[in-house]
Structure 1
Amino acid sequence: MRYLPHSAHERAEMLGIIGAADIEALFSAVPKTALKSFKLDLPDHSPEFVVEAHMRALANKNQAGGDGPFFVGAGAYRHHVPATVDHLIQRSEWLTAYTPYQPEISQGTLQMLFEFQTQVAKITGMDVANASLYDGSTGTAEAVLMARRLTRRSKIVLSGGLHPHYRDVVKSYLKDDADLVCLSPSPEGQGDILEHIDDTTAAIVVQTPDFYGHLRDLKSATEAAHAQGALLIVVVTEVVSLGLLEAPGALGADIVVAEGQSIGNALNFGGPYLGLMATRKEFIRQMPGRICGETVDADGNRGFVLTLSTREQHIRREKATSNICTNSGLCALAFSIHMGLLGEAGFVRLARLNHATAIRLADALEGVPGVTVLNETFFNEMTIRVPQPAAGLVERLAQRGILAGVPASRLLPEDPEVDNLLILAATELTTDADIAALCAALTEELA
């Protein structure tokens, strides 16, 4: 659509300044069929403050996570982020080079990434971590490709408990791949993943806590995978759980992938988020992304460098492990600062608070007529069965100011068996009053 100044004088002045003969000359490169001569049905331009007021009015129609009882999870979780985090990530010490090619001017960034890697390796129980990936889902796909390179095998088995978004991203990376086995999602379990392992399997992918909140037995999965020469990839969507559960590395995991959003990063309408990846030392050359390391300068002073970056910009493209060309630097910084504020004891206490709150939620839900809690084990998330479609129930509860969780049908629309399933999460921000309000509203809606 061509914009024409309102008056002939304005048009002439504009054309004179840019040296165009007439209005049509401005659009000579545009095909005639693409030009529109009529005015679009849109408002005229307005002053900035009028537009801002209009956008605020639209935004006020949203119900934000802190506006009332909030039980949404399923891969993105509402936790308290200290104000200190936002303050510190804006300090100039961190605002160095975007990509730390020149370590002499990027020491702040490099040291932060080094500390971040140390924290991730510690909580996952692994030897080494990279400087972050984009998010948990793409990190899972990268782990699958890494396992194929390490084993020189092609078959990948995805647990039925893997988050549907993560499963779909892996499918996209391995499009039309006959060697990808995706077990059917089930609220009762992850499917018998062990019976699908054979001597052609590169890796099995197990999530714990899984999509429905169940905790999974990693020891038996490790033994079965390793017995056939396959690797175990463990996925964690709620990283706070690592403060209470035994680290995947201690249970035999070969690659651990996690979504780090819960620490230092708000929900942010779905992003940007933070992919964590850690592995064993012997696999480091096949890990995508970059690794920052510690060294000393010519005077013996402590310094930090980019130790490893196995991406296609740095080496021959056909030898690159990945085309990942950066990392979620700001989100990783927020994660590292929040984790530093918590410390080990604080991280463990945060996890215990989450689990204790979830226990209170499960106990209260058991008392609601018509509600069945399906989980025998959980961390801070669980699945309930209700006697009507969960999607409609969630909409009605939202009208009451309660964000009651995620209907399983929203993420698994092709599966009619999940229509009555609702996934709820409780964190340290969930109060007893929130739980009471949810259960009272559920009781009324289900009556």
Structure 2
Amino acid sequence: MPLTDTDRGAMLSVIGASSVDDLFVDVPEAARLSGPIAGLPNHASELAVERHMTALARKNTVAGEVPFFLGCGAYRHHVPASVDHMIQRGEFLTAYTPYQPEIAQGTLQMLFEFQTQVARLLGTDVANASMYDGSTACWEAIGMARRITKRGKAILSSGLHPHYVSVAKTMAKYTGDALATSAPTLTAETDIDALIAAIDGDTSCVVVQYPDILGRIADLTPLADACHANKALLIAVVTEPVALGAIRSPGEMDADIVVGEGQSLGVGLQFGGPYVGLFGCKDKYVRQMPGRLCGETVDADGKRGFVLTLSTREQHIRREKATSNICTNSGLCALAFSIHMTLLGEKGLRDLAGLNHALAVQAAERLAQVPGVSLVNDAFFNEFTVTLPVEARPVVRTLAERGVLAGVSLGRLYPGEDALANGLVIAATETTTAEDIETLATALQEVLA
């Protein structure tokens, strides 16, 4: 440590403490360490630490080095090298929210373009300058629906990602919102009819994932009509934005609020984060939207410029009037998303989506030939669910040991739900090869034999 004993003594004398331990008297003695942490070395050279950390890192299985079929909200896509080059340009590079427009025009312009891209992608009138990630954006949408409808009951689709449900439950403890939830069933049909039947006069919103956790795709129009007939809102959650290059956007089906995870575009897997939350809504609800929005204006000389137009967050207005306590966003991830989207363009996104779907169809057709494997849903984008004749979790572990990351077992996502234990969610993207698919099918057949 840089401080000497003399330095520490001088600091303690100023604050009137006899020792450092005096600063921790409020911590129960049983919870305090009496010495160094067992097993942790007191000192090592930089070279030794580097070697040790490298050895630990080599225990990881690198996504790009093995057949990779993991999805369920985090997807492996190819991010062009030009994205990393562009995000490091001085006029754009920042991980923080801009406060002074006169020195943040690059960041503000990027966020303005980002909002336009997200609004067009989600099919909404307006989008904000991003959220932390998809799960927190989902909760913020539920809170927004409560403010708009003055109701406190949210119906969550059984096809909503369980991690998103968990975040919503955590936050609802402090707001009093009642959340109606259930686990999915291994059927080709979604729960749209059940959701419609559950809507009543106390419902603030219905939250549905599109495509859902099993990869199923539903027409949301009847659900939107049912919500609006009961003066409730429809919230659509998109965890794979590339899908919107091939299927109708939720906004086109009259969803009131559309949120999602933007990780697929420009952002790597990164061990689960940081990611970037997408948030769009109808224009009439814009003042209840959390976060902040960038707008276009002109300066004193009539030149085009950008500013924060709406900032209904606690740092900018009275805390009790804030729509959210979110005080920043993953700005660098939003930048990467926007640059990747710009490089793709509309045609590029559609082509990318088509490639994803074609490879997923190829994977589904090949796996359906494996004895004992059944395809749950025959309509999907780049992710689908199969059932195995045995519990999926041990199979996934065995395949991982053989260098094949086969997918996400539903038993992992829904522990204790025996009816889902044999389910396996498999994702294929443009990074998947025909050889990868054959390797998975062959290895799976050997393990199940």
Give the TM interval when normalised to the shorter protein. Answer: over 0.9
Q: 1:78 to 1:96 in 2, by over 3 A?
A: closer
Query: Residue deviations 1:189-219, cap 9 Å, x none?
Result: 4431110011221110111110000001201
Aligned residues between the structures: 435
Query: Residue deviations 1:251-280, cap 9 Å, x none?
Result: 111000010000000000000001000001
Aligned partner (choices 199, 202, 223) of residue 201 of structure 2: 199
Q: Distance in 1 between matches of 2:300 and 2:41?
A: 64
Q: Distance in 1 between matches of 2:42 and 2:339?
A: 46
Summarize the alignment of residues 62-141 of structure 1 with structure 2, pairs less than 5 Å apart: 62-95=60-93, 98-141=96-139
Corresponding residue of 2:223: 221
Worse-superposed segment, 316-325 or 252-261: 316-325
Q: Describe the SS at the equivalent of 1:198.
A: coil
Q: Distance in 2 between matches of 1:102 and 1:15?
A: 42
Unaligned stretches of 5+ residues in structure 1: 4-12
Corresponding residue of 1:369: 371
Q: 1:172 to 1:19 in 2, by over 3 A?
A: closer
Q: 1:366 to 1:153 in 2, by over 3 A?
A: same
Q: Which amino acid aligns with 2:230?
A: Q
Summarize the alignment of residues 258-277 of structure 1 with structure 2, pairs less than 5 Å apart: 258-277=260-279
Q: Describe the SS at the equivalent of 2:173.
A: coil
Aligned partner (choices 247, 250, 258) of residue 249 of structure 2: 247
Alpha carbons 2:95, 2:331 under 8 Å: kept: no
Q: Does residue 369 of structure 2 align to residue 339 of structure 1?
A: no
Deviation at 1:179, TM superposition (A): 2.9
Corresponding residue of 2:435: 433
Q: 1:234 to 1:57 in 2, by over 3 A?
A: same
Unaligned stretches of 5+ residues in structure 2: 11-16
Deviation at 1:114, TM superposition (A): 0.1
Q: 1:69 to 1:28 in 2, by over 3 A?
A: closer
Q: Distance in 2 between matches of 1:366 and 1:416?
A: 23
Aligned partner (choices 294, 313, 317) of residue 311 of structure 1: 313
Q: 1:27 to 1:342 in 2, by over 3 A?
A: same
Worse-superposed segment, 365-374 or 411-420: 411-420
Q: Distance in 2 between matches of 1:409 and 1:118?
A: 39
- The percent of aligned pairs where both chains have the same amino acid is 58
Q: Distance in 2 between matches of 1:257 and 1:205?
A: 10
Deviation at 1:59, TM superposition (A): 0.6
Worse-superposed segment, 183-192 or 377-386: 183-192
Corresponding residue of 2:173: 175
Q: Distance in 1 between matches of 2:33 and 2:433?
A: 58
Q: Which is greater in Rg?
A: 1
Query: Residue deviations 1:94-125, cap 9 Å, x none?
Result: 13693322111110110000000000001111
RMSD over aligned CA atoms reads 2.2
Alpha carbons 1:97, 1:105 under 8 Å: kept: no
Q: Distance in 2 between matches of 1:357 and 1:278?
A: 30
Worse-superposed segment, 152-161 or 283-292: 152-161
Corresponding residue of 2:152: 154
Alpha carbons 2:190, 2:216 under 8 Å: kept: no
Q: Which amino acid aligns with 1:100?
A: P
Q: Describe the SS at the equivalent of 1:423.
A: strand
Q: Does residue 145 of structure 2 align to residue 185 of structure 1?
A: no
